[in-house]
Amino acid sequence: MSLDVLFNQFMSGIARGALLFLVASGLSLTFGVLRVLNFAHGSLYMLGAFLCYTIWAHLLLPALGFYLATILSALIMGAAGLLIELFLLRRLYNRGWPEQLLATYALILIITDLVKWRWGGEFLSIPRPKP
């Protein structure tokens, strides 16, 4: 195995680990601060990824498209998270965990069906940006 391949594998592992850390820390922060069991956290992450792909596909800017799409999708998903917090999660603060699980599980089903309706079930990817 060449040093190039080893370095690429190492960096790929670091990138995947960083993504998992971001998702896990967001889930931990939501539960730790708000005391709400948000099962839809992963679905929101998935929706953000598909949204990033859609923005990238419509920008047609090879040099900046990936970075701009990532920033725009993060801002849009932040606004979506704020709306979910205002209209759904605030109603669950004084409820027990079964109601929280049911409401956020319903949100999983809604988001998953919306993604399947809009993007289908096929695999979509953005090419790796050039350094």
What is the rounded distance in angstroms from the CA atom of residue 75 to the CA atom of residue 50?
A: 14
Q: Kindly indicate the confidence band of residue 112, based on its pLDDT and cuts at 50, 70 and 90.
A: very high
Give long-range contacts, CB 8 A cutoff, 24+ apart: 4-12. none
Query: In this predicted model, which residue has the larger pLDDT, 70 or 35?
Result: 70
Residue-level pLDDT at 131? 64
28-63: per-residue pLDDT in tens? Answer: 877 778 777 888 888 999 999 999 999 998 887 767
Examine the pLDDT at 99 and tell me if it is beyond 70.
yes
Residue 5 backbone dihedrals phi, psi, to 5 degrees: -65, -40
Q: Tell me what the pLDDT averaged over the chain comes to.
A: 88
- Which amino acid belongs to residue 106? A
Residue 1 has pLDDT above 80, yes or no: no
What phi and psi, each to the nearest 5 degrees, are found at residue 122?
Answer: -85, 160
Residue spans per domain, the chain: 1-34, 37-131
What is the three-class DSSP state of 50? helix
